[in-house]
Amino acid sequence: MKETIEKILSELNDLKCSTEKEVEEARIKYLGKKGEVTALFDEFKTYAPELKREFGQKLNALKQQAIAKIEELKSQAATASTQGGGSAEDLSMPGDAFKLGSRHPVSIVRQQIVDIFRKYGYTVAEGPEIEDDYHVFEALNFPPNHPARDMQDTFFVSAGHPNPLLLRTHTSSVQVRTMEKMKPPIRVICPGRVFRNEAISARAHCIFHQVEGLYIDEGVTFADLKQAILLFAREMFGADSQIRMRPSYFPFTEPSSEVDVSCNICKGKGCNICKGTGWLEIMGCGMVDPNVLRASGIDSRKYSGFAFGMGVERIAMLKWQVNDLRHYFENDLRFLQEFETATEV
């Protein structure tokens, strides 16, 4: 083995390579699975312990020298290919066409909703996602122990406090903060993310997005509310869209209503999307309860107003006939790529 080691060392000292291909061939010859140095290590395993002590250090030194020589030749070959032989790349060739991403469908619909209401004079108001009990519940006519609080399924951050912190269950808290800071007339929309402790399914999620609207001025009536929602529905779902309003209950509005829009798939004739009814539910709304106005320091004898709120994922589901809410949160590129051609306006 001693003579073989000296022979390989001599070859390594005299080894020269001009191209990267030749360097790779040399690496395989000496250090590959069937290379000469590798074969010596296989042979070394069969030696007696006293001989292993003699040749072990020499074999390790040989391997390290072979690795160093190959790295040196590889560096020289790479330098020669870019300097001595000209550039390895043709800089006149066109660059790689990187595939651009697209807006998320929820972001697209959120922006569409905002743009529609901006045309009618609404401004955007935003607020914190971690809120206190007062702005999420009490100021919105949710007294302590009121059963309507159970509708919200709240995530509490600091429970047990007189005014505990929580993850907001609706963006109505932004409306409260807006009424505290602004004097009427007020015309705002409040887009944002909200949280509710709900089981995740095809039609529900613990995280979703809302856009709520608020209009307060002298002489605001339910007819103004109906007209505002009808204009929105026709902008979002088509000029032929119709709406219907069904009586409902919300603690912060009176009277309150649920709003349906005529199905834009079957044109009201009935299909599996609208479950044969010809209508699709899109939002809740109502006239702002006088107690809510007074809690924010607004004279309820002089001013009146309306409020509405819709789920952005719900609108996106109806707009694009998506049958599972979970698709919006899974980041599946196959799903997201379907919206590359969707526009925001």
Give pLDDT tens digits along the chain (345 positions). Answer: 677 877 887 887 888 887 888 888 888 888 887 788 778 777 767 767 777 667 677 777 878 888 888 888 888 877 776 665 555 566 777 777 777 777 899 999 999 999 999 999 999 999 999 999 999 999 998 887 776 676 668 888 887 778 889 999 999 999 999 999 999 999 999 999 999 888 888 777 889 999 999 999 999 999 999 999 999 999 998 898 899 999 999 999 999 999 999 887 777 777 776 778 888 889 999 999 999 999 999 999 999 999 999 999 989 888 888 878 888 888 888 888 888 777 654
**Inter-residue long-range contacts of 268-271, CB under 8 Å, 24+ positions, other chains counted:** 268/242
- Output the DSSP codes for 93-150: SPPP-PPP----HHHHHHHHHHHHHHHTT-EE----SEEEHHHHTGGGT--TT-GGGG
Which helix (H) or strand (E) element contains residue 211?
strand 207-217
> What is the Cα–Cα distance from 300 to 291, expressed in whole angstroms?
8
Q: What pLDDT score does 175 carry?
A: 95
Q: Which of 12, 7, 9, 8 is nearest to 73 (CA)?
A: 12
Contact in structure between 141 and 296 (CB atoms under 8 Å): no
Q: Considering just the CA atoms, what is the radius of gyration of the chain in Å?
A: 36
Contact in structure between 266 and 245 (CB atoms under 8 Å): no
> What is the Cα–Cα distance from 123 to 115, expressed in whole angstroms?
10
The identity of residue 55, as a single letter, is F
Q: What pLDDT score does 345 carry?
A: 43
| pTM, rounded to two decimals | 0.67
